[in-house]
Amino acid sequence: MSLLALKDVRVHFNTAAGVVRAVSGVSLDLAVGETLGLVGESGCGKSTLGKAIMKLVPVAAGEIVVEGTNIAPLQGAALSEMRRKVQMIFQDPYGSLNPRSTVGRSISQPMVLAGWTQGAIDERLETLLGWVGLPSDARQRYPHEFSGGQRQRIGIARALALSPKLIICDEPVSALDVSVRAQVINLLEDLKSQFGVSYLFISHDLSVVEHIADRVAVMYLGTLVEVGARDQIWRNPQHPYTKALLAAAPIANPKLARARQRTVLQGELPSPLNPPAGCPFHSRCPIAQDRCKEERPVLRPVASGAQAACHFV
């Protein structure tokens, strides 16, 4: 049984201009102890998908199954029970901590809500601060006294408080300096090997995903275009969008960078208010044909062993 299974999840937002289909039918599996990288350009709906799993945005349709329980229709007490299994690390380390709460108060919140005694909370707090490498006097201090990397570690400690099975990392290192990124990534990897926690790692930074993810899902305009093991995706991308995305990632070695073949995408991401009919990618796809304008491709196994949603691979 997979830890997390998404079945045709849809998230719609009603705006003045019409209905925005931020996530339109995503199905995905995440196994115990696995790190799944979710990549895609800004505005493709990857953060919204993460928030939908946390039930921070209303789910219009589909199932979100955590350890066999569909949490999409749950409310109130039954939902709180499930929330302990899934926690989230946020993108902005400056915004994800209440500036007027001490670090200790912020980290202990999930435990207070879970009804722990003060003694148990204090003990756990000490352990958590040790795990994420913060001094134990940090608990009386306020977030503004810490650097970005330290704050992100406070956020990680908070997410770990109730020993979740799955942590959704929404761009956890995007707001950090490159030098600090490695520390946080390493911390996440250590915690994974220590506690067997799974990650849904949402990022637009391909180098980070390549480093941390076991499997990768590529998202475009609210749908998945390719899902597979990291090496399958990186060595042998099948979907034209994945190819273009990987080709756009910078390479440090200038010789390699000059040698590689570049497919540069034309145009902008279409508006999710008015997505193109058929394959959502056809308006920018280098190999699009008439069929793509009418028929929407579904994810199916392709030659590399991964799954891709394209008629012509």
Shortest approach of other proteins to residue 73 CB, angstroms? 16
DSSP assignment of 232-292 equals HHHHS--SHHHHHHHHHS--S-HHHHHHS---PPPS-PPPTTSPPSSSTTTTT-TT--HHH
204 binds other proteins (CB under 8 A): no
Please give the residues from 90 up to 109 whose contact with other proteins meets the rule CB under 8 A: 90-92, 95-101, 106, 109
Shortest approach of other proteins to residue 81 CB, angstroms? 9
Shortest approach of other proteins to residue 83 CB, angstroms? 5
The residue from 88, 121, 197, 246 that contacts other proteins (CB under 8 A) is: 88
CA distance 74 to 80: 9
CA-wise closest residue to 125 among 106, 141, 143: 106
Q: Convert residues 144-163 into a mask of x (bound to other proteins by CB under 8 A) and - (unbound).
A: -----------x--x-----
Shortest approach of other proteins to residue 177 CB, angstroms? 18
The residue from 73, 80, 196, 235 that contacts other proteins (CB under 8 A) is: 80
CA-wise closest residue to 306 among 224, 244, 247: 224
The residue from 37, 40, 110, 272 that contacts other proteins (CB under 8 A) is: 110
Contacts of 106 (CB under 8 A, 6+ apart): 97, 98, 143, 154, 158
Contacts of 206 (CB under 8 A, 6+ apart): 39, 245, 246, 249
Q: Tell me which residues touch other proteins (CB under 8 A).
A: 51, 54-56, 79-80, 83, 87-88, 90-92, 95-101, 106, 109-110, 113, 142, 155, 158
